[in-house]
Structure 1
C-alpha cells in the first residue's frame, strides 16, 4: 500500500511539472498545466511588434497574432521604450494562451492572449537601415 501511495505522488508530481520542448531551431517553448483554470499557458520566446493597432509575436517557426488586453498594453509600453524605431521587433518572453483564430476572421492562423510578461529585451543586431527619399 505504501508503494502505491508513493507511485501515485510521483505520478502526480510529474504530470504537474512544466513540459519544456526544445525545437530544431534552438528556441524553446514551455507549457505549464494550471490546475485551477483547466487551461495551459505557454512560455513563448519571440520578437514582438505592434504597428497600426495590430500586434504579432514571431519566432523561428511560428507567428501569432496578439489579442489586445491589459497585459498587451503593458507589453507595448515596455517594448516601445526599447525600440530604436517604430518597426523594430523587440525580443520578448511571455506566458499566454494560444488559440485558433476566431471564425470569420482574417487574422493570423493562431492568436495568443498574453497572461504574463516574463522578459523584454533590447532589439538584436545593428541599427535599422533608414532610407531617405529625395526632395
Structure 2
C-alpha cells in the first residue's frame, strides 16, 4: 500500500508541474523558417543604431550597412524606447535580405534589408565598452 501511495504522489507531482512559458521568439525556429522557405532571408542578432542618416547592424562577426526604408524606420521607432543617447546601440533580432554593396558605394562590404522585426531588447547595463569624450 505504501508503494502505491508513493507512486500515486509521484504521478501527481509529474503531471502537476507547469510547463515553462514558451518565449515569444524561438530563433532556431526562425532560422529553420528562413532556410525552409528558401526565400533568401536570414535571421541576424546584433546591435542596431540609426544616427545622422546612417543605419548599422553590428553582429559578433560582421558589420552591415542597413538599407533605409520603411522597415528600418519601424525598427528605429521600437529601438528609441531603449536609447539614452542618440548614438546608443540596441540589441535586436531581425530577418534580413543580405547582399553585397555596389563597388562605387561607400560603406561596409555587405548590406542588409530588414524584412521582419523579431525582437528588440534593452541594452545590457553591465557593458563597460563605452568611451565618452568631454571638453
User: Shorter-chain TM-score category?
Assistant: 0.5 to 0.7
Residue of structure 1 equivalent to 2:104: 104
Alignment: residue pair count: 104
Matched, 1:56 2:52: no
* RMSD, matched Cα: 2.3
2:103 matches 1:86? no
After superposition, the Cα gap between the structure-2 partners of 1:103 and 1:130, relative to the gap in structure 1 and judged at 3 Å, is: closer
**Structure 1: 5+ residue runs without aligned partners?**
1-19, 21-28
Contact 1:78–1:120 (CA under 8 A) maintained in structure 2:
yes
After TM superposition, the score normalised by the length of structure 1 is 0.68
Kindly tell me: are residues 68 and 34 of structure 1, through their superposed partners in 2, closer, same or farther at Cα, counting changes over 3 Å? farther
TM-score scaled to structure 2, two decimals?
A: 0.68
After the TM superposition, list the runs of 4 or more consecutive aligned residues in structure 1 that deviate by more than 2 angstroms. Answer: 125-133
Cα distance, 1:33 vs. partner? 3.7
Question: Tell me, which stretches of 5 or more residues in structure 2 are unaligned?
Answer: 1-27
**Alignment match, 2:67:** 67
| Post-superposition CA distance 1:57-96 (Å, at most 9, x none) | 0011111100011100001111122111111110000001
Structure with the higher strand share, 1 or 2? 1
